């Protein structure tokens, strides 16, 4: 799909959601591997970068035979997006395992790793977000 057309679709979907943001509003931006953005968490930082919570749902991935209870069901990451450079980085997050274990993690230096994700659906969604007053 052409990126301009994809951007228009994302903007239309954002328009439908306008005014409805509240705590934990997950919006699926990519399937079949489920990638969702918490629309209520999107913020524009003073630097112009954007921050949002992104969920990667791995529950449909078949578990390993050796330790099925330790498989990752889903990960929720706090990510920062540089829309101008088409890049993102992870600041912190939590891994949710099949046995109920939740492991929280944080990068010691989140500024050091920027991922170039030009086709990343989460980046496209967050960068198309018009802001809280739009």
Query: CA 120, CA 34: separation in Å to the nearest integer?
Result: 12
Task: Tell me how far CA of residue 89 lies from CA of 25, 44, 53, 54, 83, in angstroms.
Answer: 21, 15, 12, 11, 12
Distance CA 105, CA 92 (A): 6
Q: Give the DSSP letter string of 32-87.
A: TTEEEEEGGG-EE-TTS-EEEEEEEE-TTSPPPSS-GGGSEEEEEEEEEEETTTTE
Residue 37 tokens read as 């953005």
Taken in order of first residue, the domains within the chain and their CATH numbers are: 3-128 (2.40.128)
pLDDT at 30: 65
pLDDT of residue 108: 75
pTM of the model: 0.71
pLDDT per residue, tens digit, the chain (134 aa), is 455 555 445 444 444 444 444 577 887 776 666 889 999 999 999 999 999 999 998 887 777 777 777 888 899 999 999 999 999 999 999 999 989 999 999 987 766 677 776 558 899 999 999 887 65
pLDDT of residue 95: 94
Buried b (16+ CB within 10 A) or exposed e, 85-121: ebbbbbeebebbeeeeeeeeeeeeeeeeeeeebeebb
| pLDDT score for 111 | 65
């Amino acid at each position: 799909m052409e990126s301009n057309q994809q951007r228009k679709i994302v903007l239309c979907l954002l328009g439908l959601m306008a005014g409805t943001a509240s705590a934990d509003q997950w919006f699926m931006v990519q399937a079949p591997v489920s990638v969702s953005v918490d629309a209520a968490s999107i913020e524009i930082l003073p630097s112009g970068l954007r921050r949002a919570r992104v969920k990667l749902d791995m529950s449909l991935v078949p578990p390993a035979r050796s330790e099925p209870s330790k498989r990752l069901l889903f990960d929720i990451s706090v990510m920062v997006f540089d829309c101008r450079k088409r890049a993102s980085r992870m600041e912190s997050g939590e891994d949710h395992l099949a046995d109920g274990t939740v492991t929280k993690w944080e990068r010691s230096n989140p500024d050091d790793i920027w991922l170039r994700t030009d086709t990343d659906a989460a980046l496209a969604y967050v960068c198309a977000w018009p802001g809280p007053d739009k």
